Every structure is written in structure tokens, then in C-alpha cells.
Structure 1
Amino acid sequence: MTLQASPVAAAQHPAAAPRSYPPAHIIGSDAEAIGIAQNLASRFAVDAARRDRERRLPLDELNTCSQAGLWAMTVPKAYGGAQVSYVTVGRVFAILAAADPSIAQIQQNHNSAVFWLWKTGSEQQRAHFLGAILRGARFGNANVDAGPQPVPGPRMSITPDEDGYRLSGRKLYATGALFADYVSTIGQDEQGRRIVAIVPAGHPGMNIVDDWESFGQKTTASGTVIFDNVWVPALNVLPIYRSYEEWPQNAITQISHAGIDAGIARAALDATIAFIRQRASNPSTPPTGPIHSDPYVIFQLGELKTRLHAAEAMLERAGHEIDLCLADPQPDSLAKASIAVAEAKALTTEIAIQAGNQLFDLAGTRSTHPSFNLDRHWRDARVHTLHDPVRWKYAAVGNFYLNGVRPPSSGQT
């Protein structure tokens, strides 16, 4: 099925995608961002299992989220935003993911777009696009090239043409594109450096195919985007290679993923505890005694909770290192931020998978009944943690501390 890229009307001008609903609320502080995330999460959690079971795409929830200002929380203060800390970014993503990890994942690439615009955009680009984001515009991605791997360099063609650029190519795993006002897509310039083109929703030549069929993260609609000789003005192209060379772009991208994994883990543990307590209140007690009194169950839950809290603490530490790096972006601070996020991502990956798996060990056979849909926690963890192998994290951390090798600036860490 081929769908238009956004719920808004097709763009009348190739630089901008107009919205048909009121301007978004503007968040004023870190505390407000966390409070809004907590309030929305309590609402999103109510129907999360049903959305997963029936694959109901969360358009209404995304509209609520962006209109509440969360999608603009990292817009710089100089452009009217709250410019929240990356400690707060990690917490917000964890809060949203504990309610519905698909909703959190859809926002993940948008946050990278905000940072690209801030650090590599011209003043005109910043004013135009960051202003749109502050009013509620959403960015989706079309960054992963389709085709057999490995192939050196992106196969996306972004070439200069008539005061603008022409785009042709096919992209996979396009999370957020279906719900976006703008779709960003990565290619290379003539020197082989990474650049991104921003295509407005409904723009001629861009088609979004809702063909996402994974068993996890089912409502992210991370399908395929096809660009067929699309033209965009120069205003819509950014030299994002600078963001990777001069700023902690990898760390900023990855901390959102770590927050999502932490949220999935917390949701799985909360579901486990709630299910055990429900069983404990059942008048028919098993011969071995109440499950909540089983010392092995108590031990395993204690271990899982401890590992979750350790991962959350590392997530906060990683956000702090990013904030320090942004204040002083030197080679050492860039490396420290990247390594701190790698450490956090390693732990959040492991606890997300472990919590989703042990849910059934601890809650018992009845917890596998499809009416509870508790397997969604494991499915979401298993799929989301595949974004980048955790073995890379430990290798990068070990190489840094043992041999003093800084992680690469332009790749996964």
C-alpha cells in the first residue's frame, strides 16, 4: 500500500510543508518536558497493547505528543525552544517507551534532525526549519539504503541541479516518514561527504510504502521510501558530515535508543510485578505456596530491578557527558560522550531483552495467553536492540580504556 507522507496537505512550496492544525505548545523547561512526558505516557499506555495487537498506527497519539511540544524540546533557546539537557532527553524517551516504544521510536530520528539543523544549518535554514518544528512540525527519516549489503557509500543520489538538488533512490526502515511533515534522507556530496536532503510531505516524486512487517515495534510504520527524480531547493540540503566531525552526533543519536531500551525494560518489569501480584490475590494458591513468597522469584526480581536501575543511572551519566561535550566540543569530550552512551546502550540492551524474557519465567504459563499480549515487551526489545549490535559497544569501550583509541566520529559506536 502506498501512502502520502503526512496527515497534512501536500506542500505548495518545495521548502515548506504547511500544517492544518494549531501551533504547538512551547515547552519552557526540563521539568516541564518531563512532566508532559509522564502525563502523555499514562494516556498512551492505556491502549498500547491493543495498538500492537491490531497494528493501529498511533497518528492521534503522535499529534498529541507533538502538539504538546515534546518534539521541539531540544530546539535551541536562541530560536525560542527550551533546549533541554540530554539528561532530560534520555529520561523523556524512557518515559514514553515504557508506555509505547513505537511512539518513542518514531520521534528518535526527529531529534537527530533538530541537532543537524542547529549545528550544520545556515541561519536561514535554522530560522525556517527550527521555527516549523517549534510550531509542531515533525521530521521522519529515510536514511537506510535498500539493496544488497555491503555496498560502499550510500546509493542515494543527491546531485546539484538548477539552484537546488535532485534526489533518486530507495530507502528502507523509514521510521516516522509516514507521519512526518518533512522526510530527511542521507546521501553524499561530490567529495563523498555525508549530506541530508529534506523533502516536504506530499512532494511530487516521493512515495512512502507502508510495508513494515517485523514482529516487534509493529506500529512504527518503518517502511520503504522511494525518491523518483525529486527536486528540492538548496535551502533543504544540509552538510551533516560536520555534525559528525565537530559535534557528538553519534552520541546524540544513540542516547535516544538507549532511553527506548530502558523504557521497554521498565514496562516489562512493571508488567511482571503486576501479573505476579494478580496471581497472588487469586484464592487458589498453588501447592508450593503463593508465588510472591517464592524466594527464587523474589531473588530474580531483585536482580532485574537492580540491573534496570544501574542501566538508568548509566543513561543519566551518558546524558551528562553529552551536555559537557556540547559546552566544550573537543576530541576528548567527544570521545567521552560517545563511550558513555556506548556503556549505557550496552546495559539498556541487556536489561530490555532479559526483562522481556524473564517475564514469562516469573509470571508463568498463563502469562503467555494472547489476551494479555505480554510478549510485545520481548518482541519490542528484541527488534529495537538490533539497531546496532551491543558487541560493538563493549569493543569500543574496551579499546578506549585499554588502548586509548577514540571511537570513530562517523560510524556506529
Structure 2
Amino acid sequence: MTQLSQPSPFSPASSIGYEQLAARFRPVFARIAEGALDRERTRTLPHEQIGWLKEAGFGAVRVPLEYGGGGASIPQLVRLLIELAEADSALPQALRGHFAFVEDRLNASPGAARDRWLERFVAGDLVGNAWTEIGDVKIGDVITRVTRSGDRWVVNGRKYYSTGSIFADWIDVYARREDGADVIAAVSTRQSGVIQSDDWDGFGQRTTGSGTSVFENAVVDEENLIDFSTRFKYQTAFYQLVLIAVIAGSGRAVLRDVSEEVRRRTRVYSHGNAASVRDDAQVQQVVGHIAAAVYAAEATGWRAAEAAQHAYEAHFAADPQAEREANVHAELESAKAQIAVAQLILKASTDLFDALGASGTSDSKLLDRHWRNVRTAASHNPLIYKERIVGDWEINGTEPPYVWQIGAGSNGLQPTRK
């Protein structure tokens, strides 16, 4: 494996065109789409489908070409995630923690430790996440601990919302070291000290594997203990970009399904406007409005992704002020995109029923899954707070927060990707 010495392992602009990149994965996306309805109906976790993506090298799509990865930019990654979300919205969310950890390693200082991770990604390794602790946990408390046990480090704790970890080879665990420092512990799942459960009980995104992860003296190598203070600075914007892609891709699925349902529908209303539903001007209007909403959602996601790409590039420009400004811009762009995209697609996932009538509510079609999935993804990091943060910036120039917290108290910080 070539050892690179430049500060950034990835060129500012991808040398691969999007269509060329997407052509590698579209056949896999099509296979994934074929069974999505049955998986939703039976609540079957997509282990096999995640395996197809691993085999295709999807988890390494952001890894530089020099390392054998796909060399994708962040905007290209977001576009791919939108296409994947159209096939099955659970899969890009299940990979959210993985792509964030990849992004963090791309931002890491050059060296053997970083290169080992890039090699693992290219080999197909996936990383889940385990950050959030629930129950009687005050903001500022981190109950999960990393301690010395003889000549090794071990992790002990319990996490929920550990999206994608049940499919992963590694888990990105937020913990506190015995010296009081907050760290990321990259824990291998190939050990008895990691216990995972599919106990996520949300009404949407049911097959993301967002359940409980328990760590009982789980061993972690010292080089895989990463100080949280070094985490890549545009991480909150990046995490939201994945959810924006989930929602926008769900919108594409709404448009696909409503168009197909209208195309096949034979029964008409006596007070309608045509002898066939597909020729009814008002039904066409509903579908056209949905198409416009999906178009706007995709375009919004792409624009926000460009801001994150700029923040990535600014990290290596040796200009702290420019980097700070780029991070502010990326955070605000993702927040505004989250607000707009959620509103557009939540409405679209309801409006589709105006084109179909009562038969569209048949449980056999499961068309309600689109609204449930979008509503669930849009509930991460409440929209009302994002709207306030954006408004505070526009009025007062107040810099947005880069780590948000959830807990039972009012002191300190406990990062969460909820």
C-alpha cells in the first residue's frame, strides 16, 4: 500500500464523474429495491443487502483512489446515498456512522494508524456507532468508560440508538477514559464483550439496526482510542447530510410509487376529470407537485453537501479563520437544508394519497411507510431548534453549536447523534 505524505489524502475535486461512479452501484441498488417492501413488512434486517454493498466497495467510496477507494467527493457521496435511499431508506441511515468515521479518518493526520483504517475500509470493513446513553443520564455524564485492565484497554457501558452497529465490523463508541478525557473507542465487534440487540421500537426506519449495544470488558487497541477533541469539525453538518439524503431519497420513492399506482389504476370517480386516472388533470397536478418537491429536496441536499466539501478542503489549507468560517457555513447550510427538505418530503409523503383514493391506504401497499420513515428521520435533532439556530444567526450572527446534547440535566455536554 502506497504511503502518502501530503496533508490531505484526497484531492479537492473528484476526478471521477458522478455517472461513472454511480454506474458501479446502481445494479446493487436495484437488487436492494426488489426486496425492500418485504423487509419492511416482516421487519427483516438487511444483513444480506449490507453485504452486497460491502462487496461492491460502497463503504470505501470516499476513500482516495490512491488507496483503492472510490475517490468520491462529499456531494457525490450524498447523491449516491439519495439513490440508495430511494431503494431502501434504512440502508443509508444504517451506514451513517460508518461514513462519519471514514470522514474523521480522512481528516486525521497522515500516518500508519490512518492508513490502516483506509485499508480496512477498502477491504470492506464497516463501522457502526454507539454514542447515546438513555435513561437517568444527566447532560454531561458519560457512563461508558475506557479503563486499563492489566496490559490492555477495555470498554464497559451500554448505548442505545446504535444505528448500523449490528451490521458492523467495528463500533465508534463515545466514552470517557479514566483520566477524564472524552474519547472515541473504535471497538471490534468480533469479540464476546460486544452484545448487540435489535430492540429499536420506532414506527419508522425499522430495519436500521438502531438498537442497544452493551460493552462488557470489550477490548480496544490503544491506537484506536481517539481524543474526541480531534474529531472533524464539520461532523454535525455531515451527520445531517446523511439524514437529508435519507429523506430526499424517500421522496424519490414516493414519486416512483405514486406514479406507478396512478399509471395502473383503472377505477375512476364519477366526479373526476377523465375516463382514466392517468389522464385526470387534477391527479396529474398532484404528481407534478410531488415531483417538484423531490427536485427541490435533491437540489437542496446537493448544495448543502458542497458546503461540507468546502469545510473538508479548508481543514488542510493552514488558515484557521478560513476553516472556522467554512465550518460555520457547512453547519448553517445543513441546518437550512434539513428544515426545508423535511417539510417538502413530509408533505409529499402525505399528498400521494390525494392521487390514489382509499385504495392507496391498503396495508398490502405499505405506502404509509414513506411518511413513517421520513417522519422518523426528520425527528433526529428537532427541526424547531434548527430553525431557532438559523434565525439567531441571521439576526444576531450567533455561531451555531457543533455538538448537541440530550440528557436529564442542565450541565455540561454529552454528544449524541440522535
Which residue of 2 is the match for residue 201 of structure 1?
A: 189
2:236 corresponds to 1:253: no
Q: TM-score, normalised on structure 1? A: 0.86
Kept in 2, the 8 Å contact 1:117–1:238? The answer is no
Once the two structures are superposed, residues 309-361 of structure 1 have per-residue CA deviations (whole angstroms, 9 ceiling, x without a partner) of 12211111111111122222311111111111111111221223212222223
Gaps of 5+ in 2: 1-13, 316-322, 406-416
**Partner SS state of residue 197, structure 1:** strand
Which residue of 2 is the match for residue 99 of structure 1?
A: 87
Which residue of 2 is the match for residue 173 of structure 1?
A: 161
**Structure 2 counterpart of 1:217, from 166, 183, 205:** 205
Q: Which amino acid aligns with 1:201?
A: T
Q: TM-score, normalised on structure 2? A: 0.85
The equivalences for 1:185-334 within 5 A come to 185-189=173-177, 193-244=181-232, 247-279=233-265, 282=266, 284-289=267-272, 290=274, 291-329=277-315, 330-334=323-327
Which residue of 2 is the match for residue 405 of structure 1?
A: 398
Say how many residue pairs are matched.
382
Gaps of 5+ in 1: 1-26
The equivalences for 1:76-95 within 5 A come to 76-77=64-65, 79-95=67-83
Change (3 A) 1:265 1:162: same
Alignment root-mean-square deviation, CA: 2.3
Once the two structures are superposed, residues 254-305 of structure 1 have per-residue CA deviations (whole angstroms, 9 ceiling, x without a partner) of 11111111001111122112111211xx2x4321234344444333333332
Once the two structures are superposed, residues 356-400 of structure 1 have per-residue CA deviations (whole angstroms, 9 ceiling, x without a partner) of 222223211101112212121112112121111112222222222
**Structure 2 counterpart of 1:370, from 353, 363, 382:** 363
The equivalences for 1:374-389 within 5 A come to 374-389=367-382
Which residue of 1 is the match for residue 146 of structure 2?
A: 158
Quote how far apart the aligned CAs of 1:63 are: 0.8
Aligned-pair identity (%): 29
The equivalences for 1:353-364 within 5 A come to 353-364=346-357
Q: C-alpha separation between the residues in 2 aligned to 1:34 and 1:400? A: 36
Kept in 2, the 8 Å contact 1:321–1:337? The answer is yes
Which residue of 1 is the match for residue 10 of structure 2?
A: none
Q: Which amino acid aligns with 1:257?
A: L
Kept in 2, the 8 Å contact 1:30–1:82? The answer is no
**Partner SS state of residue 173, structure 1:** coil
Change (3 A) 1:191 1:410: farther
Change (3 A) 1:119 1:194: farther
Quote how far apart the aligned CAs of 1:190 are: 5.8
Q: C-alpha separation between the residues in 2 aligned to 1:133 and 1:126? A: 11
**Partner SS state of residue 82, structure 1:** coil
